[in-house]
């Protein structure tokens, strides 16, 4: 993102992309010396911040107390210019200061959760400060919050590429079945659900994950002359559900700790409403409905049986969420994939749940051009965004981007 503005004394150039732990972030700061002098700016510096912040509010009678804990992850800075510094004059009175900073390699992913009287954030930002000493003068500040995710290992990237090219590896089935009854009395019908997904230990974030969802129903015992439709032409109970009626959600349970206090926050995200950029223009789902199949009931001497019906949905799911936590000291979160298949009648919904682990999907980028360890050249990430960046995070609300959790210390 380019923050250029000819009327500003300080302009920050810093790309608004997801960063990888261990990556060297770069950018540049333009200082207009003439405007800086007019605004009495005497020093130009930058601060890099990263923090885990948790809070738990307790009630003691009429008194509410908010307990907080902070774990610093990044606390660094650099001075670029001070009044009296010697710099070559330019035709525009503007001096550009490039900067680079290498993120620690073991940073936890950016994260945010908020519940009643509890919450937690893992956030990262940089702040450019123009110091203006003196009474009743506030410093000039430019802040930029950014997102960090862990780097993927080579074996994880192999899975990512196989998924992008079309999964040809192993699959695994997750099955669930229930007895259903339309009313309080009578014989039960049955419903069976099978979810088939790639047999991998971790689902890479933001990468389309193919899946197959098969729903099969069996009616109660009927005579062979009974049709699979009622007298109004509608399928007899239990009718196969439509795709639009299915619920496919990602449930996240977060454990928040403030010293000896522990709380949890539950969040739920609708996965059907999330489309990965690579699949944005494709059909969201393919549905195959089989013809009803008559099945004789074993051991029935009246030649009775039941109607078996089946529908199969094929599509992909994307998980652009914070990778499962591994090293966040006072925040831990866990995911479950939850599918609800609705059927008419009370308590007839069939629920299938699966614990899932979300993993990174991007390698650590090489050092940017112009930084030690890279090829020669003058361009940086402030000029060109490299390919293969991690996907934007879906679960970071506006509160994350305010930067309120960085303990900025406004006096400095």
Decide whether 10-151+362-401 matches 154-359 in CATH topology. yes
50: confidence class by pLDDT, cuts 50, 70, 90: very high
373: confidence class by pLDDT, cuts 50, 70, 90: low
276: confidence class by pLDDT, cuts 50, 70, 90: low
| 38 three-class SS | helix
220-255 per-position pLDDT tens digit: 999 988 888 887 888 889 999 999 999 999 999 999
What's the token pair of residue 3?
């923050």
- Of the two residues 313 and 408, the one the predictor is more confident about is 313
Spatial contact of 176 and 350, defined as CB atoms under 8 Å apart: yes
Distance from C-alpha of 377 to C-alpha of 26, rounded to nearest angstrom: 14
Please name which of 330, 409, 265, 333 lies closest in space to residue 54, comparing C-alpha atoms: 330
> End-to-end distance of the chain based on CA atoms, in angstroms?
25
**pLDDT for residue 182 is more than 90:** no
pLDDT at 279: 52
Residue 176: Cβ-neighbour burial (10 angstroms; 0-12, 13-18, 19+): middle
Encode 205-251 in three state secondary structure: CCCCEEEEEEEEEECCCECCCCCCECCCCCECCCCCCCHHHCEEEEE
**pLDDT for residue 78 is more than 50:** yes
Lowest mean pLDDT among 59-73, 287-301, 371-385: 371-385
Domain 10-151+362-401: assigned CATH number: 2.60.40.640
Please name which of 208, 186, 189, 211 lies closest in space to residue 198, comparing C-alpha atoms: 211
Q: Over pLDDT 90: what percentage of the chain?
A: 69
The strand pairing partners of 338, in sequence order, are: 249, 353
Distance from C-alpha of 360 to C-alpha of 320, rounded to nearest angstrom: 10
pLDDT at 166: 94
18-43 per-position pLDDT tens digit: 999 999 999 999 999 999 999 999 99
Distance from C-alpha of 135 to C-alpha of 139, rounded to nearest angstrom: 11
Q: What is the mean pLDDT of residues 53-75?
A: 94
pLDDT at 382: 44
Q: How does the average pLDDT of the chain come out, rounded?
A: 88
What's the token pair of residue 52?
């885990």
Instruction: Name the residue ranges covered by the structural domains of the chain.
Output: 10-151+362-401, 154-359
131: confidence class by pLDDT, cuts 50, 70, 90: very high
Please name which of 356, 357, 391 lies closest in space to residue 276, comparing C-alpha atoms: 391
**pLDDT for residue 290 is more than 70:** yes
Greatest extent of the chain over all pairs of C-alpha atoms, in Å: 104
Q: At 304, give phi and psi (nearest 5°).
A: -90, 170
Q: How many CB atoms lie within 10 A of CB 381?
A: 24
Distance from C-alpha of 371 to C-alpha of 369, rounded to nearest angstrom: 6
pLDDT at 6: 53
What is 154-359's CATH topology?
Answer: Immunoglobulin-like (2.60.40)
Distance from C-alpha of 354 to C-alpha of 333, rounded to nearest angstrom: 15
Q: Got the DSSP string for 179-210?
A: EE-SSSSS--EEEEEEEEEE--SSEETTS-EE
Query: DSSP assignment, residue 156?
Result: H
Q: What is the mean pLDDT of residues 376-391?
A: 51
């Amino acid at each position: 993102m380019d923050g250029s503005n000819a009327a500003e004394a300080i302009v920050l150039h810093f790309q608004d992309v997801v960063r990888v732990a261990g990556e060297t972030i770069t950018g540049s700061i333009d200082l207009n010396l003439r405007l800086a002098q007019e605004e009495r700016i005497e020093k130009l510096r930058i601060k890099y911040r990263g923090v885990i912040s948790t809070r738990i509010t307790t009630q003691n009678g009429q008194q509410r107390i908010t307990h907080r804990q902070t774990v610093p992850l990044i606390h660094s800075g650099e001075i670029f210019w001070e009044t009296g510094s010697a710099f070559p004059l330019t035709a525009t009175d503007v001096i550009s200061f490039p900067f680079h900073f290498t993120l620690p390699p073991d940073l936890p992913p950016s994260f945010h959760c908020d519940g009643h009287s509890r919450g937690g954030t893992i956030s990262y930002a940089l702040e450019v400060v123009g110091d203006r000493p003196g009474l009743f003068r506030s410093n000039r500040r430019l802040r930029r919050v950014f997102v960090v995710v862990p780097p993927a290992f080579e074996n994880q990237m192999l899975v990512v590429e196989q998924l992008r090219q079309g999964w040809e590896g192993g699959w695994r089935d997750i099955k669930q079945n229930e007895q259903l009854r339309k009313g309080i009395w009578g014989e039960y019908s049955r419903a069976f659900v099978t979810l088939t997904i790639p047999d991998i230990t971790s689902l890479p974030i933001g990468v389309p994950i193919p899946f197959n969802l098969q729903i099969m129903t069996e009616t109660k015992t009927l005579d062979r002359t009974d049709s699979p439709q009622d007298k109004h032409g509608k399928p007899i109970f239990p009718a196969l559900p439509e795709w639009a009626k299915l619920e496919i959600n990602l449930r996240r349970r977060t454990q928040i700790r403030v010293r000896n206090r522990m709380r949890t926050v539950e969040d739920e995200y609708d996965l059907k409403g999330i489309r990965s950029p690579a699949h944005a223009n494709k059909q969201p789902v393919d549905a195959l409905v089989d013809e009803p199949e008559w099945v004789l009931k074993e051991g029935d001497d009246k030649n009775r049986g039941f109607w078996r019906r089946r529908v199969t949905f094929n599509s992909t799911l994307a998980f652009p969420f914070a990778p499962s936590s591994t090293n966040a000291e006072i925040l831990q979160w866990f995911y479950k994939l939850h599918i609800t298949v609705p059927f008419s009648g009370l308590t007839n919904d069939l629920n299938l749940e699966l614990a899932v682990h979300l993993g990174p999907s991007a390698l650590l980028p090489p050092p940017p051009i112009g930084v030690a360890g890279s090829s020669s050249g003058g361009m940086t990430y402030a000029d060109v965004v490299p390919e293969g960046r991690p996907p934007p995070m879906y679960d970071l609300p506006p509160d994350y981007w305010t930067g309120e959790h960085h303990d900025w210390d406004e006096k400095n």
